[in-house]
């Protein structure tokens, strides 16, 4: 009708097709998560004690933080020592759109982060100084890329699906919160 000039605009142009079904985000099963966290923990997968390197302590603290509060990799990487309050069991992160959030953290994450801060971080820093909480083995800020690579290595060592991403920890946190009654 618009071609013939009978009407000025096509009324069907404002119609939308049906929405595509959204796929559910990937989450990590509880037993797989426990396996993943043990990769850098003080015990082997079979339960025998082992000595943790400073890198193990840092990586365990990062993984615990990612799961314990649903932090993004960029938030963990950018975390400053001044924004970590282990006594109050909370961290202040700078999220997407430069939004600051104060997030409570679980006791296991608090313990892993306290061990890292008091034992491993000084060893990793050496003579360097840094305002970043997580640092590399050379004392530089622990980058998002390095955290993602560490995550992939941990997945491989735990024998888990390497298609998972650190963001799956965030989805797992959210799923667990919903299961626990949060809105």
CA 37 to chain centre: 12
Kindly tell me the burial class for residue 165, based on how many C-beta atoms sit within 10 Å of its own C-beta (0-12, 13-18, 19 or more).
Answer: middle
Which pLDDT belongs to residue 116? 98
What is the tens place of the pLDDT at every residue in 88-100? Answer: 999 999 878 888 9
Residue in the structure block whose two tokens are 């959210």: 174
pLDDT number for residue 151: 95
Q: Cα separation of 141 and 88, whole Å?
A: 24
Residue from 64, 67, 153 nearest 145 by CA: 153
Cβ atoms within 10 Å, residue 69: 22
Predicted pLDDT of residue 74: 94
pLDDT at 40: 94
Q: Which residues pair with 85 in a beta bridge?
A: 90
Q: What is the pTM of this model?
A: 0.83
Measured in residues, the chain has a length of: 183
Question: Which residue ranges in the chain fall short of pLDDT 50?
Answer: none
């Amino acid at each position: 009708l618009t071609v013939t000039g009978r009407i000025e605009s096509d009324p069907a142009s404002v119609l939308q097709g049906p929405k595509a079904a959204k796929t559910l985000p990937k989450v990590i099963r509880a037993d797989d998560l426990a396996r993943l966290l043990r990769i850098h923990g003080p015990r082997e997968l079979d339960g025998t004690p082992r000595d943790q390197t400073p890198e193990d302590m840092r990586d365990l603290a990062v993984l615990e933080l990612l799961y314990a509060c649903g932090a993004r990799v960029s938030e963990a990487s950018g975390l400053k020592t001044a924004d970590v309050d282990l006594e109050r069991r909370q961290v202040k992160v700078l999220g997407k759109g430069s939004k600051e959030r104060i997030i409570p953290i679980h006791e296991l994450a608090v313990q892993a982060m306290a061990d890292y801060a008091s034992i491993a971080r000084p060893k990793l820093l050496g003579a360097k100084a840094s305002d970043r909480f997580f640092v590399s083995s050379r004392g530089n800020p622990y980058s998002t890329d390095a955290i993602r690579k560490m995550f992939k290595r941990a997945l491989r060592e735990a024998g888990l699906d390497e298609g998972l991403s650190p963001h799956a920890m965030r989805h797992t946190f959210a799923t667990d919160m919903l299961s626990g009654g949060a809105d």
